[in-house]
Amino acid sequence: MVLLPEDEADKLSLMRGDNVIVTYADERKERLPTGLGLEVTIGKRTVVTDCMIGPPLCEPQIGRLVLEEMDMVVDCAGRTLTLRPESPNRPLLKLK
């Protein structure tokens, strides 16, 4: 999921949803509220998704599911995010 700081979620006037329980790397668990209907745009791609709302000023994060839905390719070594070459105009989603 996407993680937004509370102050940014408030600026966007996101409607609040149910809480989710998150587990951190140190195994701590915390209950976070969710925001509904966040519109995320990267380049020419847009997706509407729900998000988790973290403490004010926390680092925003875009989750894997959003990037997959947008059909984006992450190159960690090159520190780039690009459109999948096979689908430059719109997402190409595969079903099995």
Does residue 66 fall inside a structural domain? no
Does residue 35 fall inside a structural domain? yes
Does residue 93 fall inside a structural domain? no
Q: Which of 39, 42, 19, 44 is nearest to 29 (CA)?
A: 19
Q: What average pLDDT does this structure show over 63-88? A: 87
Mean pLDDT of the chain: 91
How far apart, in whole angstroms, are the C-alpha atoms of residue 70 and residue 31?
28
pLDDT tens digits, 23-61: 989 999 999 999 999 999 988 889 999 999 999 999 999
Helix residue spans in the chain (DSSP H): 6-11, 64-69
% of the chain with per-residue pLDDT over 90 = 62
Count of the separate structural domains present in the chain: 1
Residue 41 structural domain? 2-60
